[in-house]
Structure 1
Amino acid sequence: MLRDYVQNYDPIFQHAVLGMAYISLHGTFIKINSALCDLLGHSQHEQGSTAQLDIFYQHMLSVIVKYGESLQSEHLAYVSIEQSIQCRDGRQLQVTIHLTIIHNDDSMPVHYLAQFEDHTRRSELESKLHMTENILRDIQNSYQQLLEKMPLAVLITKKGVVQYVNPAALRLVNAKEKSEVLGISTDTVVDISYHEALKERRRSFAEHQLLHPITYLINCLDGQQKLVDGFTLILSYEGETAAIGVFMDVTEQREKEEYMMQSERLTMAGQLAAGIAHEIRNPLTSINGFMKLMRSSKQSSETYFDIIESELKRIELIVNELLVLSKPQRNHTSKPLNVLPILDQVITLMKVQSALKNIEIIFNGPDAPLWIMGEINQLKQVFINLLRNGIDAMSSTGTIYVSVDSNDQEVLISVEDEGIGMTSEQIQKLGQPFFTTKETGTGLGYMITQNIIHNHSGSIQIESVPEQGTTFTVKLPKISKPED
């Protein structure tokens, strides 16, 4: 009789995708389908031999019987059981067992039909998700603790409005509570004199996704102003894109630097004063001596006039170069410049002077433009000084080679002469007031060149071999081609 009931369900039972089993009322397997064999990891021939399965899954079967008895007593149609099953191959399955009672024609319960719904994968994913959430929560807590304890000021902004400040940022703007800072605009914090730089930075990020380090003058809540250096990262904060700015108060550092620069200026002024006194005393002594000779002599000598004129020109040269040196080089207006036309103009200008000494100037540079930021007249002065030095270093005939090269960061301009060269000791002294290797030089020209290059954020390198020649290499920061 029981077999007849079972066979009536065979077509659905055998071909079901869901794992299914007929289980007796006292808790033994009657029959299992192929899908359940695959789920539990048993071979197909075990479908007909269920005695071993009864022993292995005894606990699960007892749970099914317990719930089955509840179905009968409470007259329920079915029940769902969440069950963890330990398979023979060691796997742990998380399944939902949908249990139904099969009745005979007399409405008497004859056995149970159990359908096994596997949600192991879903449980694993939920477990991993829960674990990931815990990890992210731990990271967020650690991140929050890191920000709170950082000695640098951290401000997080969204669309220019402050969303978070750490204790160091409160100290930076002289605030006592976070509520004093949260919600205010960065335009309020950054001084109006730096608003243009702030707008340019936002525009640069919108167009090129670049945020370079920046220096701002900020307004503190108590009216004090501070100078800060900082950088910005674009990250996610509370599920939205935000700008995380990290800043350091450099007011005191800049004041110390300014004090040191002022000390250096005073030292340089002392050196210049000593050099000027020495350089001008000699021609003045000569002029004074010849004036006395002329006064005591009844007839003036033309030679005396020539010597006096020569010494006066010497004083004029020193004064003119001092005036150039005294001009504020830092306050120049920089703009994008193609360095190649500048060199071409300077070489054309200097070829007239070089031709008088039978010296040839050869230029070698790329066809493509090389762009730098600078002030054109000051850079022309640099290249004129270097070419004039090369011409003066050669007695007669020879060649000066001007070459231009570049890498990803710099433009390199080299001026190589075939002159008398310099020793390492002489190279080290270059740039000192009134040190020169020329017979009639003052040494101030190279000081001017150094200052201009320094104020253009560049550097100058010297290589020289006595009696063979000298190469000056100017390195200037390279920029990308400006938009039209």
Structure 2
Amino acid sequence: MINPALCVLLGHPQHEIDSTAPLDHIYKDLLSDIQRFGESLPNERMTSGKFESRLNHLSGRELAVIVHVSLIRNEPLPHYLVQFENRTSLLEIETKLHSTELALIDIQNSYHELLEKMPLAVLITKKGVIQYANPAALQLVHAKDRSEAVGLSTNTIVDASYHMALEERRRVYDVRKALNPIIYMINCMDGRQKYVEGFTLIITYEGEHAAVGVFKDITDQKQREEHMMQSEKLTMAGQLAAGIAHEIRNPLTSINGFMKLMRSSKRSSETYFEIIESELKRIELIVNELLVLSKPQEKHVSKAINVLPVLDQVITLMNVQAALKNIEITFESSDVSQWIVGETNQLKQVFINLLKNGMDAMDASGTIRVSVDSTEQEVLIRVQDEGSGMTPEQVQKLGQPFFTTKETGTGLGFMITQNIIHNHGGAIQIESEPGQGTAFTVKLPKTMKPEHT
């Protein structure tokens, strides 16, 4: 006897339930297997058991089944209850899973081999701790073997002067779920320091979220940039020298005149002293700003900066040269502090470059408008001049070495400006029309006001 479910399993029509003879012929091998297995049960002192078998569906498809055999009567002839458990779908799934697992292993092995042979340094970190470093990364930090690097905190590798930038980057990722390219100074195992530039991707590594950082050594490039920046600073200092001399000469004349008045007067006037003190402070401010501009910096340290005083100091310095060309520099901003993470002297050089470019673009008198605004994520500094403006083609070429719209210029100033802004994780936007002037908008990532200022 067979039940309808077996006919469905094997694909036979319902009418064959009543006529099992064809099935006896088709499945004679299966019946022989069942008989042999059933006859072995008493020898094993068992009344039931199971074995695996393969059956052919009427369509020709092979089925994987587990055959359960139970002895229900032994005399005068043995009778068996046989149940078929269809394992075909499960077996197919297991086969697919096994194939997928093999494919994943192949991908993982290929991925690992790619990382091992990659010329760029690759670090995989979890919660700020190094989990993997490829040979290029070990060579970058001068580690003898992988065990020397794995387990180290990224705060150990990244120099302390960049820890604030590192924390700020993590904070920005928590908000935006995006990581901008970054430049760090790192401490190598042998005590040397290097500059590296890289980007980070968030992946799943060994079942957990991890960060993959890909870095390249830019120490030589950074040193060349530093030399170029220093050269540009000295060039600007020389160009500002005439205006500085003129600006200092005026308060010195005032001081000299009041000193003569005081010498000829029988009694000193407090007003004279206040004017002299005010003029001396003005000289000191101008000279200090010029010294900052020209002095080489041994080491730049990123920290939280309120950009408003920086702009105020730069405008004070540049007003000297602007006055000589009958140009007015206006500054518009709210009283709310605008905090960014950066290096004060480099940012000063950016704003000096932009103001100087604006003055060079203006033939006669006019106004350069400096304004500060902000969004939730960025601080926006806009410098708008009333100069000759540029064509779209000229704007496109800005930043290329030795391209300049000036009769005497190298084009390096704006290239350095772009590099500084890029190193601060920012961007610069240019709007210009011939005869309508040019507006440069510097966008820098906003940060929180530090607790101790």
Give TM class, smaller chain.
0.5 to 0.7
Matched, 1:137 2:105: yes
Matches within 5 A, 1:225-374: 225-262=193-230, 268=235, 272=239, 328=293
CA contact (8 A) 2:9 2:57 kept: no
SS of 2:190 mapped into structure 1: coil
Taking the aligned partners of 1:41 and 1:84, their CA distance within structure 2 comes to 15
CA contact (8 A) 1:336 1:482 kept: no
Task: Report the residue type matching 1:193 in the other structure.
Answer: S
Decide whether aligned partners of structure 1 residues 483 and 174 sit closer, same or farther in structure 2, where only a CA change above 3 A counts. Answer: closer
Taking the aligned partners of 1:321 and 1:389, their CA distance within structure 2 comes to 24
Taking the aligned partners of 2:175 and 2:373, their CA distance within structure 1 comes to 29
CA contact (8 A) 1:153 1:168 kept: yes
Matched, 1:152 2:120: yes
Specify the alignment match of 2:438 in structure 1: 472
Specify the alignment match of 1:165 in structure 2: 133
- Report how far residue 101 of structure 1 moved: 2.8
Matched, 1:215 2:183: yes
- Report how far residue 157 of structure 1 moved: 2.3
CA contact (8 A) 1:387 1:415 kept: no
Matches within 5 A, 1:111-126: 111-126=79-94
Decide whether aligned partners of structure 1 residues 53 and 144 sit closer, same or farther in structure 2, where only a CA change above 3 A counts. Answer: same
Taking the aligned partners of 1:322 and 1:451, their CA distance within structure 2 comes to 24
Deviation per CA, 1:123-158, whole angstroms, max 9, x where unpaired? 222222222221221122112111111111122222
Select the residue among 74, 77, 90 that pairs with 2:60.
Answer: 90
SS of 1:184 mapped into structure 2: coil
Matches within 5 A, 1:67-86: 67-86=37-56
Taking the aligned partners of 2:221 and 2:359, their CA distance within structure 1 comes to 39
Q: Percent identity?
A: 42
TM-score, normalized by length of structure 2?
0.62
Deviation per CA, 1:224-245, whole angstroms, max 9, x where unpaired? 1111112222222222332222
SS of 1:100 mapped into structure 2: strand
CA contact (8 A) 1:93 1:120 kept: yes
Select the residue among 76, 79, 84 that pairs with 1:108.
Answer: 76
- Report how far residue 321 of structure 1 moved: 11
Moved more, 163-172 or 151-160: 151-160
Task: Report the residue type matching 2:145 in the other structure.
Answer: E
Bigger relative CO (Cα 8 Å, ≥ 6 apart): 2
Decide whether aligned partners of structure 1 residues 171 and 333 sit closer, same or farther in structure 2, where only a CA change above 3 A counts. Answer: closer
Specify the alignment match of 2:146 in structure 1: 178
- Report how far residue 211 of structure 1 moved: 2.7
Decide whether aligned partners of structure 1 residues 188 and 422 sit closer, same or farther in structure 2, where only a CA change above 3 A counts. Answer: closer
- Report how far residue 324 of structure 1 moved: 7.9
SS of 1:126 mapped into structure 2: helix
CA-atom RMSD in angstroms: 5.4
- Report how far residue 75 of structure 1 moved: 4.9
- Report how far residue 454 of structure 1 moved: 8.3
Taking the aligned partners of 1:126 and 1:141, their CA distance within structure 2 comes to 22
Task: Report the residue type matching 2:32 in the other structure.
Answer: S
Deviation per CA, 1:396-439, whole angstroms, max 9, x where unpaired? xxx9999999999997969686x9x6898x99644847xxxxxx
CA contact (8 A) 2:132 2:150 kept: yes
CA contact (8 A) 1:414 1:471 kept: no
Decide whether aligned partners of structure 1 residues 208 and 462 sit closer, same or farther in structure 2, where only a CA change above 3 A counts. Answer: closer
SS of 2:152 mapped into structure 1: coil
Taking the aligned partners of 1:190 and 1:463, their CA distance within structure 2 comes to 44
Deviation per CA, 1:256-295, whole angstroms, max 9, x where unpaired? 33334455667x479959x97xxx9xxxxxxxxxxxxxxx
Taking the aligned partners of 2:418 and 2:52, their CA distance within structure 1 comes to 79
Taking the aligned partners of 2:389 and 2:164, their CA distance within structure 1 comes to 48
Specify the alignment match of 2:168 in structure 1: 200
Specify the alignment match of 1:187 in structure 2: 155
Task: Report the residue type matching 1:130 in the other structure.
Answer: H
Number of aligned residue pairs: give it: 369
CA contact (8 A) 2:141 2:187 kept: yes
Taking the aligned partners of 1:449 and 1:182, their CA distance within structure 2 comes to 41
SS of 2:440 mapped into structure 1: strand
Moved more, 449-458 or 202-211: 449-458
Deviation per CA, 1:314-336, whole angstroms, max 9, x where unpaired? xxxxxx99998886399999867
Matched, 1:48 2:24: no
Decide whether aligned partners of structure 1 residues 161 and 94 sit closer, same or farther in structure 2, where only a CA change above 3 A counts. Answer: same
Moved more, 73-82 or 472-481: 472-481
Task: Report the residue type matching 1:328 in the other structure.
Answer: L
Unpaired runs of 5+ in structure 1? 1-30, 281-319, 347-362, 364-368, 434-446
Matches within 5 A, 1:14-33: 31-33=1-3
TM-score, normalized by length of structure 1?
0.59
CA contact (8 A) 1:404 1:414 kept: no
Specify the alignment match of 1:294 in structure 2: none
CA contact (8 A) 1:431 1:450 kept: no
Unpaired runs of 5+ in structure 2? 247-284, 316-331, 396-403
SS of 2:67 mapped into structure 1: strand
Decide whether aligned partners of structure 1 residues 145 and 248 sit closer, same or farther in structure 2, where only a CA change above 3 A counts. Answer: same
Decide whether aligned partners of structure 1 residues 219 and 66 sit closer, same or farther in structure 2, where only a CA change above 3 A counts. Answer: same
Taking the aligned partners of 2:381 and 2:67, their CA distance within structure 1 comes to 78
- Report how far residue 97 of structure 1 moved: 0.8
CA contact (8 A) 2:361 2:389 kept: no
Task: Report the residue type matching 2:442 in the other structure.
Answer: L
Task: Report the residue type matching 1:165 in the other structure.
Answer: A
Taking the aligned partners of 2:180 and 2:103, their CA distance within structure 1 comes to 32
Taking the aligned partners of 2:221 and 2:154, their CA distance within structure 1 comes to 24
Deviation per CA, 1:440-481, whole angstroms, max 9, x where unpaired? xxxxxxx9999989866635454225xxxx332323327679
- Report how far residue 95 of structure 1 moved: 1.1
SS of 1:139 mapped into structure 2: helix
Specify the alignment match of 1:60 in structure 2: 30
Specify the alignment match of 1:38 in structure 2: 8
Decide whether aligned partners of structure 1 residues 337 and 49 sit closer, same or farther in structure 2, where only a CA change above 3 A counts. Answer: farther
Task: Report the residue type matching 1:234 in the other structure.
Answer: I
Taking the aligned partners of 1:405 and 1:195, their CA distance within structure 2 comes to 27
